[in-house]
């Protein structure tokens, strides 16, 4: 099954719902009245697009030439079109520009950081890069063990300390080792934290500072991992992690569930941060580059 | 936790309150705003629709037209609807753990919703509050180290965990857990299942198989309060496969608007039992629908605050304060007395949580931006002054300030900040002097609203309407830069 098929399958429920909501709204002969526009807007909000983007699409539908003749296909197309327009500028792959290229992975608890790291490691390694992991989540019980298991499975070296240890000094050691050993990519895990916990966010800022001591340009990428089931709070996550850790790009996980990840659209509009990849399954190949057009069409239920 | 929603609804009702009689148009206008607010707060769309319909029907008509204060009436109606939606006033029936041991509690939920942590928290709660001998077993064979994680948590909490045997299926582990619990005399056995996606048929079937094999007394759905519109799908997907008996909402200590809380109950029909409120393993609270609804509305526990304050505020002090206020005097001892009152009322954080719109301050305190020890340190500074200095702070010279700073273990800057705060408060007192005693005190507390949102904020206390205790000054004093701006309309609060 291609990854697009998986994404589609993952989004099937939502697509169906969005499509269902849109289907039947337009009769084909009547102009879209306020009530129908309301329902379309609702359908968009229900896909987590956020009220602002939903409102814009609604406004567009209200003024378009097909106001007097809009069938379901037209509406899906305009939705997909509008979504794609928002997403295209942010659909950028993660490029390795340094050696070692240091990637710091941050996010709230349970967003899928560790699994994402494993997938990235596996893909880069398959692409001929030497990869090293650093188990910077020294807080959660068994987080280190979890990453060690992944490192073993993928077959890459890992720098790990003890649970409860200092994450910043571990990151420092890892960067040093990666430099000494001529590693291509170092991926540093961090403990999940809610963005409104100042103390934990400070720790993250410290980690970043300490990494910068060895290589002022590091970390070269700070990835924020977002859970697709998250609603509008994702915006707050991007904002605060952005301020504290200088997030350079987003990865969205768990898009193979029933969640739609529509808040990526809201996030793209508000922050314009690159969306590097989306995760659509458990397998190592299920983390894929983000394609704005495909995502938009899958979200809106456009055929083909 | 629901600050953003409070802010928004607070603003809407502010507008409503300003008008005389409420018409249907007013109600509909307000409800449109409520609707967007709920949607932005990630309340699921179908739930929002029901809610709005219900509330509108109740608000339009005799109830409102006959009401003396229409705004309050609408607030009440929306509040009542919210309370109903969140589970009503009635205490949910206790967890079914008083069965022939072992009682089986099965935890289900999506990946990353916080099941394992919640399992450990619940086990600890059962062991300490309910005095139950509790066994935990992880049935998660999918995620690497998941069983190990529960074992470590068990060690930390001194709660028994089922020994890990590699290669067993979840159903086998579940049966072994029940067996072990029965043989070893455990009261409760908690089954932590693997996280699964609602669309994953194989795992959902496995979950159903575990449920039918162990016949749990409780099946608790663990839901992340950050969840967006997907909450309805999650709830229905799980409800379809197993007989959910309750919900645990995790990460209620985050800054999510928490719309998931509203959605869950109405979709699952099961009570929301607990709220996870922190990383620590005792951060599990019983879910209180009434209180949460109150916060959502932004009306805070204003009633509770009044009652609590009244119980704490000795009449004698009130009299003394009234006298001083009448004279327009307010010295350092009065400031200290106020700080003492605040401490009795649960400290800054407890007090702030009860104040409508004080979410930002609460947030700042929870996150450590304002030290909870702040009141103690301010008190220490005042106590390091001589009685004369307290009565007449203007005599404080640089030399005296250094002495005070040394005496209280603070810095001269801190001393200056206390003085500035006192000055600001004294100014406010002068404006308030017409309102003596209890009433004035309440106004004063209500006027805590002068707190600017961040380092750049800083409506000077002098401008803060009735801003008696300038929390902004407090925040600037020892705290780090504020954590986000204050809700609009917050400053208006003290004006009435």
* Distance between B149 CA and the closest CA of chain A, angstroms: 5
* Confidence bin at A117 (pLDDT 50/70/90): very high
C-beta atoms surrounding B413 within 10 Å:
12
d(CA B30, CA B13): 8
The tens digit of pLDDT for each residue in B77-87 reads 777 788 787 87
A window 4-33, beta carbon within 8 A of B = 9-10, 12-13
Q: Which of A36-40, B175-179, B219-223 has the lowest mean pLDDT?
A: A36-40
CA separation (Å) from B90 to B16, B85, B271, B363? 30, 12, 10, 29
The tens digit of pLDDT for each residue in A77-97 reads 878 888 898 899 999 999 999
User: What is the arithmetic mean of pLDDT over B293-304?
Assistant: 47
Q: Do A194 and B253 touch (CB under 8 A)?
A: yes
B window 179-218, beta carbon within 8 A of A = 197-199
Looking at per-residue pLDDT, the higher value among A6 and B405 belongs to B405
Q: Which CATH architecture has domain B3-86?
A: Up-down Bundle (1.20)
- Closest by Cα among A142, A251, A139 to A203: A139
Q: Do B148 and A142 touch (CB under 8 A)?
A: yes
- Closest by Cα among B168, B107, B111 to B136: B107
d(CA B322, CA B406): 34
d(CA B339, CA B471): 11
- SS3 of residue B52 by DSSP: helix
Q: Does A46 touch chain B (CB under 8 A)?
A: yes
CATH fold of the domain at B300-495: 434 Repressor (Amino-terminal Domain) (1.10.260)
pLDDT, averaged across chain A: 84
- The residues near B32 (Cβ < 8 Å, ≥ 6 apart) are none
Q: pLDDT value at position A22?
A: 55
What residues in A contact B236, CB-CB < 8 Å? none
Question: How many percent of chain B have pLDDT more than 90?
Answer: 21
Q: pLDDT value at position B305?
A: 40
d(CA A255, CA A279): 6
d(CA B13, CA B8): 9
Q: Do B42 and A231 touch (CB under 8 A)?
A: yes
* Confidence bin at A120 (pLDDT 50/70/90): very high
CA separation (Å) from B381 to A249, B96, B333, B391, B420? 47, 52, 11, 14, 13
| Helix-helix angle A51-63:A34-46, to 10 degrees | 150
Q: pLDDT value at position A12?
A: 53
- Closest by Cα among A304, A266, A263 to A4: A304
Q: pLDDT value at position B345?
A: 54
| Interface test with chain B among A6, A111, A233, by most B beta carbons within 10 Å | A233
Q: pLDDT value at position A98?
A: 92
Q: pTM score, two decimals?
A: 0.68
* Distance between B40 CA and the closest CA of chain A, angstroms: 7
SS (H, E, C) A117-170: HHHHHHHHHHCCCCEEEECCCCCCCCHHHHHHHHHHHHCCCEECCCCCCCHHHH
B103-287 CATH choice from 3.40.50.970, 3.40.50.2000, 3.30.70.20, 3.40.50.300: 3.40.50.300
Beta strands, E only, B262-355: 272-276, 284-286
B window 138-167, beta carbon within 8 A of A = 143-146, 148-149, 152-153, 156
Q: Contact at 8 Å (CB) between B259 and B37?
A: no
Q: Is the pLDDT of residue B313 over 90?
A: no
What sign does the CA torsion over A177, A131, A90, B260 have?
negative
Q: Does A189 touch chain B (CB under 8 A)?
A: no
* Distance between A260 CA and the closest CA of chain B, angstroms: 8
Q: pLDDT value at position B443?
A: 44
C-beta atoms surrounding A34 within 10 Å:
9
Of A109, A163, A258, the CB nearest to B233: A258
Q: Do B45 and A142 touch (CB under 8 A)?
A: no
Token reading at B474: 């407090």
Q: pLDDT value at position B298?
A: 46
Question: How many percent of chain A have pLDDT more than 70?
Answer: 85
Q: Do B146 and A142 touch (CB under 8 A)?
A: yes
Residue B99, CB-side half-sphere exposure with 13 Å CA sphere: 15
Q: Is the pLDDT of residue A40 over 50?
A: yes
Backbone angles phi, psi at B79, to 5 degrees: -60, -45
- The residues near B493 (Cβ < 8 Å, ≥ 6 apart) are B356, B357, B446, B447, B449
The tens digit of pLDDT for each residue in B423-472 reads 877 776 666 554 444 444 444 444 443 333 333 333 333 333 333 344 44
What sign does the CA torsion over B208, B213, B218, B222 have?
negative
A window 71-100, beta carbon within 8 A of B = none
d(CA B55, CA B9): 14
Q: Contact at 8 Å (CB) between A164 and A76?
A: no
* Distance between A97 CA and the closest CA of chain B, angstroms: 31
* Distance between B328 CA and the closest CA of chain A, angstroms: 40
d(CA A107, CA A237): 8
Q: pLDDT value at position A187?
A: 97
Chain A to chain B Cβ contacts (< 8 Å): 151
- Give per-residue burial for B179-215: e unless 16+ CB within 10 Å, then b: ebbeeeebbbbbbbbbbbbbbbeebbebbeebbeebe
- Closest by Cα among B465, B460, B433 to B449: B465
Q: Does B368 touch chain A (CB under 8 A)?
A: yes
User: What is the arithmetic mean of pLDDT over A156-175?
Assistant: 93
Token reading at B118: 């919640």
Q: Is the pLDDT of residue B69 over 60?
A: no
* Confidence bin at B68 (pLDDT 50/70/90): very low
User: What is the arithmetic mean of pLDDT over B347-368?
Assistant: 49
The CA dihedral of B176, B238, B296, A18, to the nearest 10 degrees, is 150
- Closest by Cα among A242, A299, A253 to A81: A299
Q: Contact at 8 Å (CB) between B217 and B97?
A: yes
d(CA A165, CA B121): 23
User: What is the arithmetic mean of pLDDT over A138-144?
Assistant: 85
Q: What do you get for the CA distance between the two ends of chain A, in Å? A: 16
Q: pLDDT value at position A119?
A: 94
Go through chain A and tell me how many residues it has. Answer: 304
The tens digit of pLDDT for each residue in B114-136 reads 899 999 999 999 998 888 999 99
* Confidence bin at B299 (pLDDT 50/70/90): very low
User: What is the arithmetic mean of pLDDT over B233-241?
Assistant: 89
* Distance between A257 CA and the closest CA of chain B, angstroms: 5
Q: Does B282 touch chain A (CB under 8 A)?
A: no
Q: Contact at 8 Å (CB) between B224 and A229?
A: yes
A window 199-228, beta carbon within 8 A of B = 199, 227-228
Beta strands, E only, B195-327: 218-224, 246-250, 272-276, 284-286
The tens digit of pLDDT for each residue in B97-108 reads 888 888 999 999
Go through chain B and tell me how many residues it has. Answer: 496
Q: Does A286 touch chain B (CB under 8 A)?
A: no
Q: pLDDT value at position A154?
A: 93
Q: pLDDT value at position A278?
A: 92
Q: Is the pLDDT of residue A222 over 80?
A: yes
What residues in A contact B226, CB-CB < 8 Å? 108, 227, 229-231, 233-234
Q: Does B224 touch chain A (CB under 8 A)?
A: yes
Residue in chain B closest to A12 (alpha carbons) equals: B199
Of B145, B226, B231, the CB nearest to A233: B226
* Confidence bin at A20 (pLDDT 50/70/90): low
Task: Answer yes or no: is the ipTM higher than 0.90.
Answer: no
* Distance between B258 CA and the closest CA of chain A, angstroms: 9
Looking at per-residue pLDDT, the higher value among A13 and A129 belongs to A129
Long-range CB contacts for residues B276-282, cutoff 8 Å, separation at least 24: B276/B114, B276/B117, B276/B118, B276/B121, B276/B248, B276/B249, B276/B250, B276/B251, B276/B252, B277/B252, B277/B253, B278/B253, B279/A139, B281/B117, B281/B120, B281/B121, B281/B124, B281/B153, B281/B156, B281/B157, B282/B121, B282/B124, B282/B125
Sketch the domain layout of chain B as residue ranges.
Answer: 3-86, 103-287, 300-495
Of B146, B229, B363, the CB nearest to A196: B363
Q: Contact at 8 Å (CB) between A205 and A243?
A: no
Which helix or strand (DSSP H or E) is residue B150 part of? helix B146-157
User: Can the peptide bond before residue A168 be classed as cis, meaning omega within 30 degrees of 0?
Assistant: no
d(CA B380, CA B383): 5
Backbone angles phi, psi at A251, to 5 degrees: -130, 130
d(CA A95, CA A115): 20
pLDDT, averaged across chain B: 72
SS (H, E, C) A3-40: HHHHHHHHHHHHHHHHHHHHCCCCCCCCCCCHHHHHHH
* Distance between A215 CA and the closest CA of chain B, angstroms: 29
Of A146, A198, A260, the CB nearest to B367: A198
- SS3 of residue A179 by DSSP: helix
What sign does the CA torsion over B363, B366, B367, B371 have?
positive
d(CA B423, CA B417): 10
Q: What do you get for the CA distance between the two ends of chain B, in Å? A: 26
Q: pLDDT value at position B445?
A: 46
How would DSSP label each residue in B422-454?
Answer: HHHHHHHHHHHTTS-HHHHHHHHHHGGGG--SS
């Amino acid at each position: 099954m291609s990854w697009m098929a998986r994404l589609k399958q993952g989004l099937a429920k939502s697509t169906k719902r969005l499509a269902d909501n849109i289907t039947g709204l337009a009769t084909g002969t009547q102009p879209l009245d306020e009530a129908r526009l309301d329902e379309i807007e609702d359908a968009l909000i229900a896909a987590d697009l956020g009220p602002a983007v939903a409102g814009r699409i609604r406004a567009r539908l209200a003024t378009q030439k097909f106001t007097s003749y809009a069938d379901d296909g037209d509406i899906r197309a305009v939705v997909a079109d509008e979504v794609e327009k928002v997403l295209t500028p942010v659909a950028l792959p993660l490029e390795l520009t340094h050696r070692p290229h240091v990637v710091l992975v941050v996010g709230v608890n349970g967003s899928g950081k560790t699994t994402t790291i494993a997938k990235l490691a596996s893909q880069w390694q398959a692409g001929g890069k030497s990869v090293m992991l650093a188990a910077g989540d020294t807080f959660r019980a068994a987080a280190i063990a979890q990453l060690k298991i992944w490192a073993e499975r993928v077959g890459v070296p890992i720098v790990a300390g003890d649970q409860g240890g200092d994450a910043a000094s571990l990151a420092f050691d890892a960067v040093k080792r990666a430099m000494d050993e001529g590693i291509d990519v170092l991926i540093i895990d961090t403990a999940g934290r809610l963005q409104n916990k100042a103390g934990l966010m400070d720790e993250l800022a410290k980690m970043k500072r300490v990494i910068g001591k060895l290589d002022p340009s590091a970390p070269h990428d700070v990835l924020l991992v977002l859970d697709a089931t998250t609603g509008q709070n994702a915006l707050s996550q991007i904002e605060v992690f952005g301020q504290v850790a200088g997030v350079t790009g987003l990865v969205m996980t768990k898009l193979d569930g029933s969640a739609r990840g529509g808040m990526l659209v809201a996030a793209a509009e508000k922050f314009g941060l690159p969306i590097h990849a989306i995760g659509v399954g458990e397998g190592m190949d299920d983390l894929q580059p983000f394609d704005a057009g495909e995502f938009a069409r899958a979200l809106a239920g456009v055929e083909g | 936790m629901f600050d953003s929603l409070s802010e928004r609804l607070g603003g809407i009702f502010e507008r409503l309150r300003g008008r005389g009689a409420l018409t249907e148009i007013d109600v509909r206008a307000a409800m449109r705003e409520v609707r967007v607010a709920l949607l932005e707060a990630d309340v699921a769309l179908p739930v929002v629709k029901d809610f709005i319909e219900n509330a509108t029907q109740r608000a339009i008509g005799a109830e409102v037209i006959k009401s003396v204060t229409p705004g309050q009436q609408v607030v009440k109606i929306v509040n009542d609807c919210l309370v109903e939606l969140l589970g009503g006033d009635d205490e949910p029936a206790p967890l079914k753990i008083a069965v022939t041991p072992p009682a089986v509690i099965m935890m289900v939920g999506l990946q990353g919703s916080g099941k394992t942590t919640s399992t450990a928290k619940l086990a600890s709660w059962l062991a300490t509050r309910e005095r139950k001998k509790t066994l935990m077993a992880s049935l998660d064979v999918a995620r690497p180290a998941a069983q190990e994680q529960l074992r470590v948590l068990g060690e930390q909490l001194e709660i028994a965990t089922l020994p890990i045997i590699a290669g067993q299926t979840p159903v086998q582990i579940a049966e072994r857990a029940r067996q072990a619990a029965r043989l070893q005399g455990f009261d409760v056995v908690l089954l932590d299942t693997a996280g699964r996606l609602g669309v994953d048929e194989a795992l959902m079937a496995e979950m159903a198989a575990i449920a039918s094999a162990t016949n749990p007394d409780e099946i608790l759905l663990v839901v992340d309060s950050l969840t967006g519109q997907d909450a309805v799908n999650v709830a229905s997907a799980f409800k379809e496969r197993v007989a959910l008996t309750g919900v645990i909402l995790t990460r209620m200590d985050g800054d999510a608007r928490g719309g998931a809380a509203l959605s869950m109950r109405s979709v699952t029909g099961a009570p929301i039992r607990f709220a996870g409120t922190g990383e620590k393993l005792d951060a599990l609270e019983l879910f209180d629908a009434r209180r949460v609804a109150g916060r959502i509305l932004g009306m805070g526990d204003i009633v509770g605050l009044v009652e609590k304050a009244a119980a704490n505020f000795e009449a004698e002090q009130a009299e003394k304060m009234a006298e001083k206020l009448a004279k327009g005097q307010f010295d350092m001892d009065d400031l200290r007395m106020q700080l003492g009152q605040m401490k009795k009322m649960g400290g800054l954080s407890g007090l702030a949580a009860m104040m409508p719109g004080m979410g930002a301050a609460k947030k700042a305190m929870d996150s450590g931006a304002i030290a909870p020890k702040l009141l103690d340190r301010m008190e220490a500074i005042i106590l390091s002054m001589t009685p004369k200095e307290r009565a007449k702070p203007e005599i404080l010279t640089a030399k005296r300030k250094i002495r005070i700073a040394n005496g209280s273990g603070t810095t001269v800057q801190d001393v200056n900040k206390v003085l500035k705060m006192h000055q600001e408060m004294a100014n406010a007192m002068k404006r308030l002097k017409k309102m003596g005693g209890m009433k004035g005190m309440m106004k004063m507390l209500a006027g805590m609203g002068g707190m600017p949102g961040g380092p750049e904020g800083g409506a000077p206390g002098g401008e803060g309407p009735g801003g008696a205790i300038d929390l902004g000054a407090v925040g600037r004093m020892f705290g780090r830069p504020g954590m986000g701006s204050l809700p609009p309309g917050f400053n208006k609060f003290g004006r009435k």
